[in-house]
Amino acid sequence: MSGPERERCITCSDEAVEAVVVAAHGTEAVVRAAGEEERVAIDLVPDAAPGDLLLCHAGIALERLEQPHEGSHSEGRVGS
């Protein structure tokens, strides 16, 4: 395996994806990752606002990030 090993979900083996909030309404937000927009649940980040960078996995925003992580990539689908 080349490069740093990435953490993966123990349930589905997918990686979490960094995504930027485009719009937030109630308990959902529209986020953009890898040029695609998707809806995610923001129950764990209820004060998410446009411009925030979120870590998302399986259609759920897990946490707000301060800045993009080194070596991260946003190539997967947010809801994967």
Q: What confidence tier does 3 reach under pLDDT thresholds 50, 70, 90?
A: very low
**20-60 pLDDT, tens digit each:** 999 999 999 999 999 999 999 999 999 999 999 999 999 99
Query: pTM here?
Result: 0.72
- The owner of tokens 């490069």 is 3
Write the CB contacts of 45 (distance below 8 Å, at least 6 apart in sequence): 52, 54, 61, 62, 63, 64
What domains appear along the chain, each with residue ranges and CATH number? 17-65 (2.30.30.140)
pLDDT score of 6: 56
